[in-house]
Structure 1
Amino acid sequence: MNIYFSFKSWKKIITLLLTISFLTACESIEAGEINKSKQKIFIGDNYGQINNQGRLRTYYSYIPKSYNPNQPMPLVLVFHGDAGSGRSISDVTGFNNLAEQKGFIVVYPDGINQKWSLRSNSQGKVDDISFVSSLIDGLKQQVNIDSHKVYATGFSRGGILTQALACKLSDKIAAFASVAGSLPVRLKPNCQPETPISMMAINGTKDRDVLYEGDDRDRRGALVSISDMVGFWRSHDRCISSSASPLLPSTKVKATQYSNCIGNSEVLQLAVVDGGHFWPGGASTDASLNKFNAQLGLNASQTIWDFFQRHSLS
């Protein structure tokens, strides 16, 4: 009798355990589907993540209402400066509104600890060039991106990263625009893209963070002067002629367009006279900067998009 009772008790216990295991498994499957659904792309704001070099990387993106999964759409990558984030640079640049008006996808990656690294992945260091390359590949799996029309722009350290991307990812990115950035001294000798590079550079002549005249070459993280940076890209593209660009009526902006370059490439330089370290036409809480912007009459984001539209990968 006791044995029979014991057997029935064990049978109930086993049945209960099986039921709990089944429910747990169902919950795990459901949780997996929820996590997977977080990676789905929706019209409007999106937050995504990607595993790269053993780290979980994040980004913010905006998909315009005109997006059609059956039609490829241009992609613009926007890189923040030090201490910034994808979301913060989106607020400054206003690229979301422009993406809605013009019909392109815009993605704002986040740097590790709000910074970008241009070094190779050695001794645990982050390689953000590799991250961007993987991000582009990953985005192409989620949304219908026009592979011929992927573009990169950035501010400050993000602008420096944009210059580095031009050196390394010319096979994936059609045109580049750096704002308040330049080419690192140590990177210049090793910057040998296999294709012509369409580069736009916007710099303030009185920028105290990215000096217009460049840094002492022995300084850590030194940048070349803006004239040397522009000259480097002109030389790489074998541009024959230069002319004052009629794109900008403002007397505070000196625009020089270098054309007749190989592969229909182009170098466009915008020098903001007496300008500092800022995104021209961008949102700011600084009243004096807003006043300067109003007098300047330059919308960097719109001008960059106009530049991008002229270029695509063959």
Structure 2
Amino acid sequence: MRHVWTVLLFTTLVACGGGTGATGASTSATESASPPPPPVASPATSTAGCGSGSKLTTGMHSLSSDGLQRSYWVEMPASYDRNKTYPVIIGLHWRDGSAADVYGWSGFFGLKNLYGDNAIFVAPEGLDKGWANTNDRDIRFMRAMIGEVQQGACTDAQRVFATGFSFGGMMSNAIGCEMGDVVRAIAPMSGSLWSGCAGSSYKVAAMFIHAKDDNTVPYSAGMEARDVFLKRNSCSATTVPVGSHGCVEYQGCDSGKPVLWCGTETGGHWYPNFSAQESKAFFDRFK
């Protein structure tokens, strides 16, 4: 099922999306033939949910955040080992979507099939079917949710990742802007800064996917978000090709904080078929 948004929805998103602070200027790139080296890996850091602390189960869970009941779906591996540290992958739904859309028919944007039993997946439910992140309320919910997952399941604290499409991509950017102390990397798809981008000294690795003919969230809005992370991570304007779908990686970024850009010629307001493959390859660098 392909969700098609109208121009009116574009205006609505601008109105409800929070801060838009950004560098604004797009970054030119030159390509080189040599592939980039992978980031230096960090040792796995087990969380409180390992061993006898494991109690989280597949299904919908809830918590109180800012005086509101918030919910999120957890997908545990079928062969879960309470003594094995798993990466946590957060999938964020689009406007008028739901957690059920993410864990149901989309299979966490195709990532569930690729990871199988080797990750714990989390699909949070947005307020009013979106991620306006008013006064950072969704950021506080994300922190509380991740804390509960780490308390209840055996996870690797060094491998928490966030991805999402459209409004979910915008929230992925907001997480990247502010939650680098908790989240290792983000992969926004068709996103922007309309869910806010609060200042933080923490940095994350980031891979952006956006189509040039996106008429709902303009390509320029995706580039604006990318440029914020390029500046934060001290990247240069030089790029090298990475993967097999036209993505590029910026050079000179801070150690372990790469920034990748996957700009497609066509595709409109949707995520491309290759997104799961490239997102997993990106997340798998942090082992």
- Taking structure 2 as the reference length, the TM-score comes to 0.75
1:41 Cα deviation from its structure 2 partner: 2.9
Residues 244 and 86 of structure 1, relative CA distance in 2, 3 Å threshold: same
**Residue in 2 aligned with 1:13?**
none
The one of 56, 65, 80 equivalent to 1:52 is 65
How far residue 241 of structure 1 moved from its aligned partner, in angstroms, is 5.5
Q: Measure, in 2, the Cα distance between the counterparts of 1:233 and 1:109.
A: 24
Gaps of 5+ in 1: 1-38, 122-126, 214-224, 282-297
Q: Which has the higher contact order (CA 8 A, sep 6+)?
A: 2
The residue aligned with 1:311 is 286
Q: Is the 8 A contact 2:242 2:249 kept in 1?
A: no
Counterpart for residue 74 of structure 1: 87
Q: How many residues align?
A: 231
The CA RMSD over aligned residues, in Å, is: 2.1
Paired amino acid for 2:168: G
Q: Contact 1:116–1:158 at 8 Å: present in 2 too? A: yes
SS at match of 1:264: coil
Q: Cα distance, 1:65 vs. partner?
A: 2.7
- Residue 111 (structure 1) aligned with residue 130 (structure 2): no
Counterpart of 1:154 in structure 2 is 164
Checking the alignment, whether the CA contact within 8 Å between 2:179 and 2:202 is kept in structure 1 is no
SS at match of 1:89: helix
The equivalent position to 2:277 in structure 1, one of 302, 306, 313, is 302
Given candidates 242, 263, 267, the residue that maps to 2:255 is 263
List gaps (5 residues or longer) in structure 2. Answer: 1-53
Q: Alpha-carbon deviations, 1:141-188, whole Å to 9, x = none?
A: 11111111111111100110111111111100000110010123x945
One-letter amino acid matched to 2:282: F
Mapped to 2, the partners of 1:111 and 1:68 lie a distance apart of 30
Counterpart Cα distance in 2 of 1:131 and 1:89: 18
Aligned-pair identity in percent equals 26
Q: Distance in 2 between matches of 1:301 and 1:113?
A: 27
Q: Check the 8 A contact 2:183/2:204 in 1, yes or no.
A: no
Q: Distance in 2 between matches of 1:71 and 1:100?
A: 15
- In the TM superposition, what is the alpha-carbon distance from 1:117 to its structure 2 partner? 2.4
**2:92–2:99 Cα contact (<8 Å) kept:** yes
CA deviation digits over 1:180-221, x for unaligned, max 9?
Answer: 10123x945xx43313321110001111110113xxxxxxxx
CA distance in 2, matches of 1:111, 1:277: 20
Tell whether 2:115 aligns with 1:99: yes
**Alignment partner of 2:226 out of 221, 230, 243:** 230
Instruction: Detail structure 1 runs of 4+ shifted over 6 Å in the superposition.
Output: none
1:234-256 deviations in Å (ceiling 9; x for gaps) = 121111363342411x4xxx322
State the distance in 2 between where 1:194 and 1:74 align.
24
Helix, strand or coil: the match of 1:203? strand
